[in-house]
Structure 1
């Protein structure tokens, strides 16, 4: 298996994780057979390893809630929903403005035709 995230995720080296990432959704390939999806509850690190504690994952018979990863191991974080929403919103605003301008233009044309008759 070779997990490389989804289009809605960005790769980050485990060694680059810090306290600002706590609470974010994360996914990563823990070993050759396992892909993990969870929410970061805690992060600890040494020079060579990063220790991730995941919220809401443990307690199952086969689910671990703690993983140790090499600092260079990629994990995948969800793209910032607010910045993504902002991009989508600006696109929606542009389309609405274009439609509004088109309606104004059509109304002016109709008024001018009515005035000339």
Structure 2
């Protein structure tokens, strides 16, 4: 398995995680067979390792709620919903503008054709 996050997440190394990430949703692949999705409950670190405690993951028979990751291990943090929404709105505005320009051009072409007949 080769998990690479979603379009709504950004990749950071585990060593970049700090207290501002507590409470945020994170996803990562701790080994070749598992992908973890959960909310960060706590972060501890040493020079070589980052220890993540997660909410919403433990409680199953095979699910862990604590993970030890090397500081260089890639994890995926959800993008800020407000900045993501702004990007989505900007993209939608661009598409609408392009469609309106296309309709305008078609109407002008139609007017020119009917005026020449």
CA distance in 2, matches of 1:24, 1:57: 13
Cα offset for 1:86? 2.1
1:83 counterpart = 2:55: no
| Residue equivalent to 2:61 | 61
Query: Structure 1, residues 12-58: CA drift from partner, whole Å, max 9, x if none?
Result: 00000000001111000011111101111100000000000001211
- The answer as to 2:32 corresponding to 1:32 is yes
How many matched pairs?
Answer: 99
1:8 maps to 8
In 1, distance between residues paired with 2:72 and 2:91?
36
Q: CA deviation at 1:84?
A: 1.2
C-alpha separation between the residues in 2 aligned to 1:34 and 1:4? 13
Deviation for aligned residue 1:92: 5.6
CA contact (8 A) 2:8 2:84 kept: no
Structure 1 vs Structure 2 CA RMSD: 2.0
Q: Greater CA radius of gyration, 1 or 2?
A: 1
Residue ranges of structure 1 left out of the alignment (5+ in a row): 100-117
User: 1:66: how far off?
Assistant: 0.2
Deviation at 1:88, TM superposition (A): 3.1
Separation of aligned partners in 2, 1:41 and 1:93 = 37
Unaligned runs of 5+ in 2: 101-117
Distance 1:81 1:28 in 2: 19
The TM-score with structure 1 as length reference comes to: 0.75
Preserved contact between residue 24 and residue 78 of structure 2 (Cα < 8 Å): yes
